[in-house]
């Protein structure tokens, strides 16, 4: 009887040791479900439109014997340009920069000071040429732009996103059929960062002293979609 008790105690010790070292739980392993099959595809959608807004920058530069005089003259010139931009229909007027620096001669001595400032303005594309002409006539001696955009840029991007999702589903369906499977549901969608609109081609518009030809821009959306298969 003593030997039987010793054998039983040894068996219990082995069971306890097995639990301590973490032997696999066979019951739990049998209950685990296999991971669902998935397929990941990339969808690209695009929408093209003629931009209807133009943003431009206008600058004035003045020189004088002293820094104060140069800044004062520049402020007067900038006000004339701003007034001209407003009268020509410019909107969202904003000062971009103001600077003053010494002007040196060949000997290195300071001969005067130069002050410059620039402002930006937005207008409809059809009014951009008139805006440029008005600013130059008012004294602007630096003009840059235009940066063309669409007032409904967000709506255009949403349309491109919808097309990207539709293209991703179409690609996934082709791949699933080729593999003898079918799509179930979407498990994840990842949107890529949106880039600036891409110019496509020029359109014949605007005949003025400074013609602005907007052409077309393409708004592109790119996404990555993961579908589950059945």
CATH number, domain containing residue 159: 3.30.110.170
Mean pLDDT of the chain: 83
Q: Please spell the DSSP secondary structure of 126-183, one letter per residue.
A: HHHHHHHHHHHHTT--EEEEEEEE-TTHHHHHHHHHHHHHHHHHHHHHHHHHHTT--E
Structure confidence by residue, pLDDT tens digits, 76-126: 999 999 999 999 999 999 999 999 999 988 888 899 999 999 999 999 998
Which residues are within 8 A (CB) of 120 and not within 5 positions of it... i.e. 6 or more apart? 55, 56, 57, 58, 92, 93, 94, 96
* Percent of the chain residues topping a pLDDT of 70: 77
In a domain, 123, yes or no: yes
- The encoded tokens of residue 111 equal 């001969």
**Of 39 and 200, more confident:** 39
CA distance 85 to 82: 5
179 lies in the same domain as 125: no
In a domain, 212, yes or no: yes
Using the 3D structure, point to which of 149, 179, 201 is the last residue of a domain. Answer: 149
In a domain, 4, yes or no: no
Q: Is 70 exceeded by the pLDDT of residue 205?
A: no
Which residues are within 8 A (CB) of 70 and not within 5 positions of it... i.e. 6 or more apart? 62, 63, 64, 100, 112, 113, 114, 115
Our count of domains for the chain comes to: 2
94 lies in the same domain as 57: yes
* Percent of the chain residues topping a pLDDT of 90: 65
- Nearest-Å Rg of the Cα atoms of the chain is 35
In a domain, 30, yes or no: no
The answer to whether 193 and 201 are in contact (CB under 8 A) is no
156 lies in the same domain as 138: no
Which residues are within 8 A (CB) of 163 and not within 5 positions of it... i.e. 6 or more apart? 43, 45, 46, 47, 221
CA 113 to chain centre: 40
Q: Is 90 exceeded by the pLDDT of residue 209?
A: no
Can you give the residue range of the structural domain that contains 62? 53-149
Q: What is the structure's pLDDT at 90?
A: 95
Q: Is 90 exceeded by the pLDDT of residue 58?
A: yes
Q: What is the structure's pLDDT at 215?
A: 79
Neighbours of 34 (CB within 10 A): 5
- The encoded tokens of residue 206 equal 């605007």
Asked, as a colleague might, if the bond just before 93 is cis with ω within 30 of 0, I would say no
Using the 3D structure, point to which of 114, 149, 184 is the last residue of a domain. Answer: 149
Structure confidence by residue, pLDDT tens digits, 152-168: 999 999 999 999 999 99
- Sorting pLDDT into bands at 50, 70 and 90, what band is 54? very high
Which residues are within 8 A (CB) of 84 and not within 5 positions of it... i.e. 6 or more apart? 134, 135, 137, 138
Using the 3D structure, point to which of 98, 122, 149 is the last residue of a domain. Answer: 149
Q: What is the structure's pLDDT at 227?
A: 96
Which residues are within 8 A (CB) of 48 and not within 5 positions of it... i.e. 6 or more apart? 200, 216, 217, 218, 219
């Amino acid at each position: 009887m003593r030997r039987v008790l010793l054998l039983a105690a040894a068996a219990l010790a082995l069971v306890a040791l097995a639990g301590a070292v973490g032997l696999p739980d066979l019951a739990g392993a049998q209950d685990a479900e296999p991971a669902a099959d998935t397929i990941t595809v990339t969808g690209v959608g695009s929408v093209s439109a003629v931009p209807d807004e133009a943003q431009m920058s206008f600058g004035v530069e003045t020189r004088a014997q002293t820094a104060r005089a140069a800044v004062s003259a520049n402020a007067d010139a900038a006000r004339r340009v701003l007034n001209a931009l407003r009268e020509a229909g410019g909107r969202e007027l904003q000062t971009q920069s103001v600077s003053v620096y010494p002007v040196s001669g060949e000997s290195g001595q300071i001969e005067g000071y130069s002050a410059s400032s620039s402002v930006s303005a937005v207008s409809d594309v059809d009014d951009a040429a008139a805006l440029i002409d008005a600013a130059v006539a008012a004294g602007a001696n630096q003009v840059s732009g235009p940066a063309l955009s669409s007032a409904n840029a967000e709506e255009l991007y949403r349309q491109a996103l919808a097309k990207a999702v539709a293209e991703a589903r179409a690609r996934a369906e082709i791949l699933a059929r080729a593999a003898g499977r079918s799509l179930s549901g979407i498990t994840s969608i990842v949107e890529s960062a949106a880039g600036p609109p891409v110019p496509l081609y020029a359109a014949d518009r605007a005949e003025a002293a400074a013609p602005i030809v907007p052409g077309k821009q393409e708004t592109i959306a790119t996404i990555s979609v993961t579908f589950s298969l059945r």
